[in-house]
Structure 1
């Protein structure tokens, strides 16, 4: 009888070990995915910081602003709405 109980206990431990290995594998996969996402986020933050520094230090060329309406049309609109 003891041998049967030992075999059942051993099989139970094998099943638990198998489940734990599967859970560990899933955890590793999720961890690597999170790590990859974190690295991408850090890269994007670095790019944004660099762009902000360039803008605040004036190293980015000023862009030309295009005005869609002339001042005459703007004044006419003001007169209509006033």
Structure 2
């Protein structure tokens, strides 16, 4: 499903979804196709569901966003690891 379809189907809602097709470019993650897992009226419940899914399936690319967001261009942030001596 494309983001535009999700916006039309679930206007003004928070959605928890898995990226089905995505690519990285210039420090951003572009999500081309998604599968909606759940939808919520408030961000707190969406975040709780996201955390639960991320803990259960850390290898999957799962997000939660509000459908008012114009696109799915997400800045990639990598956590660095400090080497202890």
| TM-score strictly above 0.5 | no
Larger Rg: 1
Bigger helix share: 1
Q: Which has the higher contact order (CA 8 A, sep 6+)?
A: 2
What range describes the TM-score normalised by the shorter chain of this pair? under 0.3
Relative to its length, the structure with more strand (as a share) is 2
TM-score for both structures, normalised by structure 2: 0.21
